[in-house]
Structure 1
Amino acid sequence: MAGQIEPPAATPEELRALSHPLSWRILRLCLDRAWTNQQLAERLDVAPATLLRRLRILTSTGFVVAEEPRRGPKGAWEHPYRATKKTWRLNLEPGSDRHLTAKVDLAILDAHRAEISENDPSVPQHTRRAVLRLDARDQAELNSRVDALLEEFAGREKSDQAPIAILWNAVERHEPPGRP
């Protein structure tokens, strides 16, 4: 889109922080409210030490911030964490390390799949898959329009509504030799 500022490219350290599905699950949960290490570990069925390691990585790269410590229900001090939305402002496209970028892509897919599998089957879903044959200009336009549409709807968010998980992935399919 004309006049749109290109987001900064993710650093290798940031890509490594995002290369695990647990990172994306944490970011998703901590987007709407602050969670403690213990709360996240219980919700995601992960050992607290594993979760804390991942939180420290996400904190050191600026994807989550620690809020002020607070007293928990039993009087102990808790350290809540909240997502910064930094991933919304980063270019996660392939850089110099395509292998690392591919790991991030797979981590995003795994985290999204986990959210779908945990969802109540009676909750409505809208799923579409398509294969399009577009030149580079049309591919860029499609991605730009999807980005703009998501930005537009992000501006309409209402805090009292249920969050919707959206995953957009456009990847070129390579056909095996000899196939149309």
Structure 2
Amino acid sequence: MTPAGERRAREQPFDASDAEAKALASGLRLRILRLTLDEPLTNREIADVLGLNPATCLHHVRTLVDTGFLEALEPRRGRRGAREIPYRATGRSWYARTPTISPSMVEAFVAELGQVPADRTDVTLTRLRLRLPPEELAEFRRRLHELVMEFHDRPRDPDAEPWSFFLALHPEALSAQPGD
């Protein structure tokens, strides 16, 4: 199991502090965490992948390091012998409960989905409207959670193609009733 996988197995859900919630309220920071989950990357490598100025990227990297969502590893020699620090996601963000609804996850999802080549035919999108009594809704939530956690807890195969999964379950806004 990878070091990140070992940490994931030990973490428990926690209420995010204001600083932690703010760090996770950025779609860009969520993308940085996704990029560094399986492979450590330097600030310059992260900036290159995301098309950012390295100084702008470093601000986001430092915010994630300061809140424990990203860790700095041992420095290494980069291009032209320069000292570079690789960063790796700690996996802690998975367990953070944030106090407010934030569009950051949706922003990160849309940005990542936008980078998938248009000719890929194996992308799956599904949208569903449900009308479930409270006990069935609770069962639906529990079963979804169990399935996601089952796959989350499996060891990662470093040779397998990485896939992303996004799930949102929310009450619908009240729609106009006939005659209103």
Confirm or deny a common fold (TM above 0.5). Answer: yes
Equivalent AA in structure 2 for residue 164 of structure 1 = W
Match of 1:133 among 131, 134, 137: 131
| Distance in 2 (alpha carbons) for counterparts of 1:137 and 1:153 | 25
Provide closer, same or farther for how the CA distance between residues 159 and 75 of structure 1 changes in structure 2, counting only shifts above 3 A.
Answer: same
Cα RMSD (Å) of the superposition? 1.9
Equivalent AA in structure 2 for residue 37 of structure 1 = N
Q: Which residue does the alignment assign to 1:56?
A: 62
TM-score (norm 2): 0.85
User: Alpha-carbon deviation of 1:150?
Assistant: 1.3
CA contact (8 A) 2:23 2:67 kept: yes
- Gap regions ≥5 residues in structure 1: 96-100
Provide closer, same or farther for how the CA distance between residues 156 and 127 of structure 1 changes in structure 2, counting only shifts above 3 A.
Answer: farther
Deviates most, 150-159 or 13-22:
150-159
Superposed structure 1 runs of 4+ greater than 6 Å apart: none
Equivalent AA in structure 2 for residue 80 of structure 1 = P
Q: Which residue does the alignment assign to 2:71?
A: 65
| Distance in 1 (alpha carbons) for counterparts of 2:107 and 2:25 | 11
Q: Which residue does the alignment assign to 1:110?
A: 107
| Distance in 2 (alpha carbons) for counterparts of 1:33 and 1:138 | 39
Q: Which residue does the alignment assign to 1:98?
A: none
Provide closer, same or farther for how the CA distance between residues 29 and 130 of structure 1 changes in structure 2, counting only shifts above 3 A.
Answer: same
Bigger relative CO (Cα 8 Å, ≥ 6 apart): 2
Provide closer, same or farther for how the CA distance between residues 38 and 156 of structure 1 changes in structure 2, counting only shifts above 3 A.
Answer: closer
| Distance in 2 (alpha carbons) for counterparts of 1:12 and 1:167 | 24
TM-score (norm 1): 0.85
Provide closer, same or farther for how the CA distance between residues 136 and 49 of structure 1 changes in structure 2, counting only shifts above 3 A.
Answer: farther
User: Alpha-carbon deviation of 1:176?
Assistant: 3.1
